[in-house]
Amino acid sequence: MTDTAKFKALAIDITTRVHGTLGASDGFIPLHEPEFLGEEEALVLDCIRTGWVSSVGPYVDRFEAEVSAACGTGHGVAVVNGTAALEVALRVVGVMPGDEVLMPSLTFIATANAAHHLGAVPHFVDAEARTLGLDPVALRAHLDRIADRRDGVTVNALTGRRLAAVVPMHVFGHPVDMDALAEVARDFDIALVEDAAESLGSRAGDRSCGSLGRVAALSFNGNKILTTGGGGAVVTDDPDLASRAKHLTTTAKVPHKWAFYHDEIGYNYRMPNLNAALGVAQLAQLGIRLTQKRALAQRYIDSFVGSEGVAVFVERPGTTANYWLNTLVLSPEMAAARDTVLDVLEAAGLMARPVWEPLHTLAIYADCPRADLPVTADLAARIVNVPSSAKLAGNRA
């Protein structure tokens, strides 16, 4: 068989198995759709009827309390989106213009953009095939090579810039090895900030993603496991970081009955009450949603038993994934089949996507410092995400 014929055969086999997983459909199946099964309409209507649609209101307070409870953290601050949450999380741990922020190259663009918007420089480190996320062994080896202690701070000896933070990201809801990463961060005295945008509800042991670093950022964009339309949250156990995040995101206004006194240059990153109302209704469904997502993932796993040239990415022992996106990983010899697989799935009405272009390969971040990234390059060529909406689990969940 020629390579082209082999790739086509694999693509057809994958498409048949995805169809088998999802059952009959009369139209195009999107990658991830929101689902509104609870009080969404009633709570949004309540905002409209009471006039509390904007930047303050009771649903913002409730959403903040409930999102932090869902993550097992003491505090939550609701913001306009996950990118803003990440920017503020980095800012409150002390990232300054001219610092470097260590992060995976295999992540969504927002991780790097958040650092850039603070005037900091992304610094890319390799992923590991075991978690798809930041590799603690590669991180330590890289820091052993380049990190230096100068005047009580950790700097990149090659650039002279401070290494201010490290930002692991739980790819598609699969928890990274945070314990090992925390040990490296501690040994090198670098702040640990979690990009938990994709991992609401995922756990490492009995600890929730969002509670595994000093501070974390969540996203409630329309494509996430729960949505506020657009939105994000900063969650942390540290009351000082939380109140600083709240202050900065609400224009740094000093509370007063009537005076407009702002004690630093803040942001207007407040989540409107309207969006928070949607969020409160959605958070009440987190348990159901996780059951549905995990049931769908199990169906994919069952459908791909015995497949050759491709495997479903399965949660690591000791972790519980929210399976935000179901992920197929092609075998190394089938890496060149990826685009054929994407084309055949799409032609069959099944929305499929590759993983992001590794950020160091984008012209905008090509000049950033980086470690060797062999696993990133390898994984990026072999990942295909397939339809993952919770409702696809149907009532069999």
| Residues lying near ligand PLP in the complex (CB under 6 A) | 81-83, 86, 107-108, 110-111, 169, 195, 197-198, 219, 221, 232
Using the CB atoms, write b or e for 16-47: b if 16+ within 10 Å.
Answer: ebbbebbeeeeeebebbbbbeeebbeebbebb
User: How many residues would you count in the chain?
Assistant: 397
Closest CB to ligand PLP among 277 and 359?
Answer: 359
Q: Select 219 or 285, whichever has its Cβ closest to ligand PLP.
A: 219
Residue with Cβ nearer ligand PLP (57 or 104): 104
Please, what is the minimum distance in Å from the beta carbon of residue 139 to ligand PLP?
Answer: 18
Range list of β-strands (E), the chain: 75-79, 100-104, 121-125, 147-150, 153-156, 163-166, 191-195, 203-204, 207-208, 215-219, 232-236, 310-312, 319-320, 326-330, 353-354, 383-386
Structure tokens given for 151: 């005047």
Task: State the alpha helices, DSSP H only, in 258-337.
Answer: 273-283, 286-303
Q: Could you give the CA distance from residue 144 to residue 93 in angstroms, rounded to a whole number?
A: 23
- Indicate the residue among 128 and 198 with the shorter CB distance to ligand PLP: 198
Of 110 and 200, the one with the shorter C-beta distance to ligand PLP is: 110
- Considering the complex, what minimum distance in angstroms separates the CB of residue 244 from ligand PLP? 20
**What's the min distance (Å) between Cβ of 198 and ligand PLP?**
5
CB 171, min distance to ligand PLP, A: 8
Toward ligand PLP, which CB reaches closer, 196 or 330? 196
Shortest reach from residue 230's CB to ligand PLP, in Å? 6
Q: Give start and end residues of each alpha helix (H) in 93-190.
A: 109-117, 136-146, 178-187
Cβ closer to ligand PLP: 174 or 299? 174
- CA 125 – CA 390 distance, rounded (Å): 32
Type of residue numbered 313: F
Local structure of 34: helix, strand or coil: coil
Give the residue with the Cβ less far from ligand PLP, 112 or 373. 112
Find out whether 192 and 173 touch, Cβ atoms under 8 Å.
no
Query: Which residue, 217 or 310, has its beta carbon nearer to ligand PLP?
Result: 217
For the bound state, the minimum distance from the C-beta of residue 55 to ligand PLP, rounded and expressed in Å, comes to 18
**Cβ nearer to ligand PLP, comparing 147 with 176:** 176
Instruction: Tell me the residue nearest to ligand PLP as measured from the CB.
Output: 82
- Per DSSP bridges, beta strands 121-125 and 100-104 are parallel
CA distance 264 to 135: 37
Report the C-alpha gap between 209 and 171 in whole angstroms: 11
Pick 83 or 327: Cβ nearer ligand PLP: 83
In angstroms, the Cα distances linking 130 to 36, 136, 295, 359 are: 34, 11, 22, 20
Min. distance of Cβ 397 from ligand PLP in angstroms? 24
Q: Helix or strand or coil: residue 191?
A: strand
Q: Which residues of 133-148 are buried (b: 16+ CB within 10 A; e: fewer)?
A: bbbbebbbbbbeebbe
CB of 339 to ligand PLP, least distance (A): 22
CB of 227 to ligand PLP, least distance (A): 9
Amino acid at 391: K
Least gap, CB of 82 to ligand PLP (angstroms)? 2
Q: Cβ of residue 215: shortest distance to ligand PLP, in angstroms? A: 14
Find the angle CA(169)-CA(175)-CA(181) to the nearest 5 degrees: 65
